[in-house]
Amino acid sequence: MVNIGLLGLGTVGSGVFDIVKDRNESLKKSTGKNINISKILVRDASKNRNLDIDNSILTENVDDILNDDSIDIIVEVIGGIDLAYEYIKTALSKGKSVVTANKAVISLHLEELNRLAKENNCGLLYEASVAGGIPIIKGLNEALRINKIDNIEGILNGTTNFILTKMYDDNLSFEEALDLAHEYGYAEADPTDDIEGYDAARKISILASLAFDAKASIDDVECHGISSIKASDIKRFKEIGLAPKLLGCAIKKNNEFSLTVEPILVDDTSLFSAVKDAFNAVNLDCDIVGDLQFYGQGAGKLPTGNAVVSDIIDIINEDYKKFDYCPNPDIVVGENSLFEGLYYFRASLDENDDKKIIKAFEDKSIDIKYEVQDQELVILTEMISSELIANLITEDLKLPAKSYSYLRIESEVLNSLVDISF
C-alpha cells in the first residue's frame, strides 16, 4: 500500500482523485501496490463536493499531511507560489517524494528542489507542469539519453492558441475571441499571464533547463504576447499563406542559450498551424533522431490528472532515478539574442507617423518592403536579429503600446524578402 497526501482538490486535484479511484486495478498492475489517497488538504472541509469521497480524509491543516509518517508521496496541486514552494520543501526534507503540477514553482526553484530531493533520497516529478497531458518531460528526458537538443519550440498555452484559432478560422477580433475563451472557461478572470506569454515562458524555461543542462528561469525569457494582433493583421497573414502561433522557443549555441515566447508566423500547411483550439504541441530538434513532435491536450482535469498519476507510478517504481538534472554553470543566457528572422511589422497611422518609422528602419540599414493600407503601415523586413527590431520599436521609436504589432516569420516557403509579394 502506498499512501498519497493530496494538497488541493481543485480541477487537477479532483482529476487525480477520480483517476486513482477509477483505475486502481491498472495502477496496481503497473506498480505492484495499492495506491491510496489517504489525506487531502482543502480550504474548506465542510464544502459540498461532487465527489464520492470520505469526508474524514479531508483536512484544512497541511501539517496533518506533512507530519503523517504513513504518507509516502505528496501531490501538490494547490497552485500559487510561496505556500506551494514551502510545502514541497518541507515534504522533500522529510524524505517524502513529491509530484507537482506547479510550473511557477518548478520554473523558479527546480535546481534547489531537485537537489533537496536527491539529498533526501526521494523523488521530485513535474510532468504536469508543462503541456498538460503531453508526456513531454519524459519524452525529452528519454530523447536526451542519446540526442543533443539545441532547439525546442512549442505551443505551450492553450488559452492563446484557442484565441488565435478563433481569430484565424472564424475571423473574430482579439477581444471577441478572448470573450469566447472566458465563456468556455479557457481564460482566467485576469488573462494577463496567458496572453502576455508569461505562462508559456515558465514552461519553455523548464524544458530549456532540462534540454540544455542549464539553470533557466522565466526571467531569462523575452516575452511578447498576442494582445496587439488585429483582424487586419490576420487578413494579411492569410493572404501570404501564414498563420500566427504563440510559440515558446529555446535555442542553444555553444555555451549560450536564448529563450522567447512570441507570436510567430508559420506556414499555414505546417504541423504547428494544424494545432487548433486549446491543444498544445512541442517539437524537439534532436541531432540523431531528427524532429520529434508531441501533441495533446495542454490542460484540463483529466489530461493534467493523467500526467500527475503517471508521475506517481514513476515515483513508486523508482523510475525517477533514471534521469538527473545537474545544471552546468557554464551554460548561460546569451548576452545577445540568438533568434533572427524575417519580420512582419504593422503600425496604425492614427497614432504613428509612417515616414518616421520607415526612416528608422532605413537608418539601421534594414532592407524592407512596405505599403500603406487602410491607415496602417505594413512592413516586411529582411532577415534580422530579434533584438534589432525590438530595440528599434521600443527604444528608438518608442511607439505607443497597442498601436503596432510585429511577428517573426518561420517559414519554409517564405524565407527571403524577395519571395514575398505583398
CB of 359 to a copy of itself, least distance (A): 40
Candidates 46, 145, 398, 416: give the one binding a copy of itself (CB under 8 A). Answer: 145
Q: Distance between CA 61 and CA 391 in Å, rounded?
A: 50
Find the part of the chain contacting a copy of itself (CB under 8 A) among 115-123, 315-323, 366-374, 383-391.
315-323
* CB-nearer residue toward a copy of itself: 157 or 227: 157
37: β partners = 4
CB of 394 to a copy of itself, least distance (A): 34
Residue 203 annotated to the active site: yes
Q: Distance between CA 128 and CA 109 in Å, rounded?
A: 16
Find the part of the chain contacting a copy of itself (CB under 8 A) among 74-82, 155-163, 245-253, 271-279.
271-279
Pairing state between β 35-41 and 384-385: unpaired
Q: Does 263 bind a copy of itself (CB under 8 A)?
A: no
Q: Does 297 bind a copy of itself (CB under 8 A)?
A: yes
Candidates 135, 241, 327, 334: give the one binding a copy of itself (CB under 8 A). Answer: 135
Find the part of the chain contacting a copy of itself (CB under 8 A) among 19-27, 101-109, 228-236, 372-380.
19-27
Q: Does 36 bind a copy of itself (CB under 8 A)?
A: no
Pairing state between β 256-267 and 404-410: parallel
Q: Does 5 bind a copy of itself (CB under 8 A)?
A: no
* CB-nearer residue toward a copy of itself: 134 or 347: 134
Q: Does 51 bind a copy of itself (CB under 8 A)?
A: no
Q: Does 129 bind a copy of itself (CB under 8 A)?
A: no
Q: Which of 166, 203, 245, 252 is catalytic?
A: 203
Candidates 5, 8, 133, 191: give the one binding a copy of itself (CB under 8 A). Answer: 133
Q: Does 90 bind a copy of itself (CB under 8 A)?
A: no
Which residues bind to a copy of itself, rule: CB under 8 A?
19, 23, 26-27, 29-30, 133-135, 138-139, 142-143, 145-147, 269-271, 273-276, 286, 288-297, 300, 302-303, 305-307, 309-310, 313, 317, 319, 322
Catalytic center residues: 203
